[in-house]
C-alpha cells in the first residue's frame, strides 16, 4: 500500500465482532475503492499496538467479558486516543458504542465499569432486552433525512449527557432504550446500536463516515441492487409493525 492509502482500522474483531459487524470495515474499504481511492484494511488483535495514522476506526458488538477486556486493552495502549486527537473518526456499534461512554454495567450483578470516556453517555441494564429490526431517521449534514435500518440485540440502555447528541430518532425499535433516539455523536466519535452490518444496510451513513474522515464531499455511488434490497428491508420492517 502506498503512503496515500486511506487506512480503515478494525479494532479487536476477535472480541467485538458479533452479528457481522466486521463487515462494516469491508463496506468502507469497498466504497473507497469504487471511487478509485486506495484503501488499506488493518485488523488489530488484542495486544497488538493500535496504529495512530488511521482514518476510520471501528468497534463492533460483543459479550460482557469482551467489553471489559477491550476497554482495558485500549486504555493501556492509548493509540486510539492519539488517533482521534490526530483527526480520525471512530464508529462504534452496540457493545462498542457502550464502551465509548463514561460507564456501563457488566455481568449478572451489573458491575459498573468505567468506559473510554469518548462519549457523554452512561449505560445500564434496561428492564427488557431490545431484540428485533429497527428503523430510525438520521438527519444528514445537508439537512435531508436518511432512514437507518438494522437489527438490535442488546440489554443495555444508554442515557446521553449534555455533551453528546443523538444520532437518529426512532420510528421502530428501542434504540438507546427510550424508543425515541438511537446512538450518539460527539466530535468525531459516532455510536449506534443496530447491526446488519449496519454500514452495508445504510450506504449514506458509510459515506458520511468517509467524508468526515477525508474532509471532503464524496459523490454518491449508484448501486441499484443495493438500493432495491434496502427498500425491501424498510418495507418489511414497517409491514411487521403494522
Q: How far apart are CA 201 and CA 24, in angstroms?
A: 10
Question: Shortest CA distance to 65 belongs to which of 11, 28, 24, 107?
Answer: 107
Cell reading at 158: 444508554
Q: pTM of the entire structure? A: 0.96
All structural domains of the chain: 6-241 (3.40.50.880)
Q: How far apart are CA 143 and CA 239, in angstroms?
A: 27
Tens of pLDDT along the chain (242 residues) come to: 345 789 999 999 999 988 899 999 999 999 999 999 999 999 999 999 999 999 999 999 999 899 999 999 999 999 999 999 999 999 999 999 999 999 999 876 688 999 999 999 999 999 999 999 999 999 999 999 999 999 999 999 999 999 999 999 999 999 999 999 999 999 999 999 999 999 999 999 999 999 999 999 998 898 999 999 999 999 999 998 86
Amino acid at each position: 500500500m502506498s503512503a496515500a492509502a486511506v487506512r480503515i482500522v478494525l479494532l479487536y474483531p476477535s472480541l467485538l465482532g458479533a452479528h457481522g459487524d466486521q463487515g462494516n470495515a469491508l463496506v468502507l474499504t469497498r466504497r473507497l475503492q469504487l471511487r478509485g481511492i486506495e484503501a488499506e484494511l488493518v485488523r488489530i488483535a488484542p495486544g497488538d499496538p493500535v496504529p495512530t495514522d488511521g482514518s476510520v476506526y471501528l468497534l463492533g458488538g460483543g459479550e460482557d467479558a469482551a467489553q471489559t477486556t477491550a476497554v482495558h486493552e485500549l486504555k493501556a495502549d492509548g493509540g486510539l486516543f492519539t488517533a482521534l486527537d490526530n483527526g480520525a473518526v471512530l464508529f462504534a456499534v452496540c457493545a462498542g458504542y457502550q464502551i465509548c461512554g463514561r460507564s456501563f454495567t457488566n455481568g449478572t450483578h451489573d458491575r459498573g465499569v468505567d468506559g473510554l470516556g469518548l462519549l457523554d453517555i452512561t449505560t445500564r441494564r434496561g428492564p427488557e432486552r431490545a431484540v428485533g429490526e429497527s428503523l430510525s431517521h438520521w438527519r444528514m449534514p445537508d439537512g435531508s433525512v436518511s432512514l437507518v435500518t438494522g437489527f438490535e440485540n442488546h440489554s443495555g440502555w444508554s442515557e446521553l449527557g449534555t455533551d453528546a447528541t443523538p444520532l437518529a430518532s426512532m420510528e421502530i425499535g428501542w434504540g438507546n432504550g427510550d424508543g425515541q433516539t438511537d446512538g450518539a455523536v460527539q466530535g468525531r466519535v459516532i455510536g449506534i446500536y443496530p447491526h446488519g452490518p449496519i454500514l452495508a444496510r445504510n450506504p449514506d451513513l458509510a459515506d458520511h463516515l468517509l467524508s468526515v474522515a477525508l474532509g471532503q464531499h464524496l459523490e454518491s455511488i449508484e448501486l441499484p441492487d443495493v438500493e432495491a434490497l434496502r427498500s425491501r428491508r424498510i418495507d418489511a420492517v414497517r409491514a411487521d409493525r403494522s
